Amino acid sequence: MKLKLHIWRQDNAKTAGKMVSYDANHVSPDMSFLEMLDVLNQELITKGDDPVAFDHDCREGICGACSMVINGIPHGPQRATTTCQLHMRSFKDGDEVYIEPWRAEPFPVIKDLAVDRAALDRIIAAGGFISVGTGAPPDGNAIPIAKEISDLAMDAAACIGCGACVAACPNGSAMLFTAAKVSHLNLLPQGEPEKDQRVINMVAQMDAEGFGNCTNYAECQAACPKEISIQFIAKMNRDLIRAKLREGNNAGSGKTGGA
C-alpha cells in the first residue's frame, strides 16, 4: 500500500523544526511502523538525503525507546501498543500519517523524532530506589505480601518509562510516570521505610524539571502502552498529602520524612 507521510524534521534543540512530506510507496501491512520508517530511511540514504532520526531499541515493546506521536496519539492509534509493536495493517492505502516527536519543555529535541528523556531518569534518581545492604540474597517469600498488593505493585511496575503519558497530556505533565514509579515501591514492605521521602523527593524533582500539572484529563492512561491507571495518581496524591502532614509532626527532629 501507499502512504503519505508528514514527518517533523529538526536538526537540534536550538533550531526550529518543520513538517516535511514523504511518499511511502512500498508499504506491506505486515511491516511494523518502525520497519516502514527503516525502508523510508534506506530510500533517503540511497538518494543522499538525511535519514529521519528516531529512537528504538528492543522492538518488542519492553524498553520504551520508540517515542513518536502518530496522527496525534503517542505510539499511534492502537491502544496498549508501543510504536515498535504497531503494524501497518492498522493503516489503509492512501492514508496520510503525521509523525511528530514527544512535545514537552523538559524533553528537548535531539534530532527529528528523537528527544532527550533524561528528565525521567532524574525523577527516578530522586527516589525510585530502596536503600538496603546488598549481602547474600534473602530467602524467597521471606517477607509475606498480600496477593492483591503484589499484583497492584506489579501493575505499577509495568511502566517502561517511555514518556507517552507526558506526550499525550495537554499540560505536559509527568504525573502518571511519577505515580507509577512512586507507587510500585510505596505499595511494598521493602519500600515502606522511605515511603514519605520518596514521594516528596520525586514530586519535587518532577516539578523542578518543568513538567506541567495534572488536571485529571486522563489522556495519559489512554496513551500508556502498559495501561497504567490514573488511580495511581490518586494514590500518589494521597501519599504526598500524608507525607507532608507527617513531615510537620517530625519538624525539629532535624530530618524530613520517616514514618
Partner 1 sequence: MTGVLSFYRTSIGKKVVMAVTGLIGVGFVIGHMLGNLQIYLGAEALNKYAAFLKSTGELLIVVRVVLLTAVILHIIAAVQLTIENRKSRPQRYVKKQHVESTFASRTMRYGGFILLLFIVYHILHFTIGKAPGGPQPFDVHNVYNNVVYGFQNLWVSLFYILAMLALGLHMAHGVWSLFQTLGLNNRRFNRLLRNAALGIGTLLFLGNISIPIAVLVGFLEPVAK
Query: Which residue in 115, 126, 169, 176 binds ligand SF4 (CB under 6 A)?
Result: 176
The verdict on 98 binding partner 1 (CB under 8 A) reads: yes
The per-type count for the chain, helices as H runs and strands as E runs, is 8, 7
The verdict on 65 binding ligand SF4 (CB under 6 A) reads: no
Closer to ligand FES by Cβ: residue 32 or 205: 32
- The amino acid occupying position 236 is M
Q: Which of the choices ligand FES, partner 1, ligand SF4, none does residue 8 contact, using the CB cut-off of 5 to 8 A by kind? A: partner 1
Q: Which long-range contacts (CB under 8 A, 24 or more apart) does 10-18 make?
A: 10/101, 10/109, 10/111, 10/112, 11/111, 12/109, 12/110, 12/111, 13/108, 13/109, 13/110, 13/116, 17/109, 17/112
Contact indicator for 71, 4 with CB cutoff of 8 Å: no
Q: Which of the choices ligand SF4, ligand HEM, ligand FES, none does residue 161 contact, using the CB cut-off of 5 to 8 A by kind? A: ligand SF4
Q: How many residues bind partner 1 (CB under 8 A)?
A: 51
Q: How many residues bind ligand FES (CB under 6 A)?
A: 13
Rounded distance, CA 179 to CA 159, Å? 10
Closer to ligand SF4 by Cβ: residue 22 or 183: 183
Grid coordinates belonging to 109: 529535541
| Contact flags string 141-170 toward ligand FES, x per CB under 6 A | ------------------------------
Residue 104: name the closest of 177, 165, 53 by CA: 165
Rounded distance, CA 250 to CA 196, Å? 12
| Contact flags string 158-197 toward ligand HEM, x per CB under 6 A | ----------------------------------------
| Contact flags string 37-66 toward ligand FES, x per CB under 6 A | -------------------xxxx-xxxxxx
Q: Please state, in angstroms and as integers, the Cα–Cα distance from residue 94 to each residue in 26, 40, 120, 183, 223, following that order.
A: 12, 16, 37, 44, 25
Residues engaged in binding ligand FES (CB under 6 A): 56-59, 61-66, 82-84
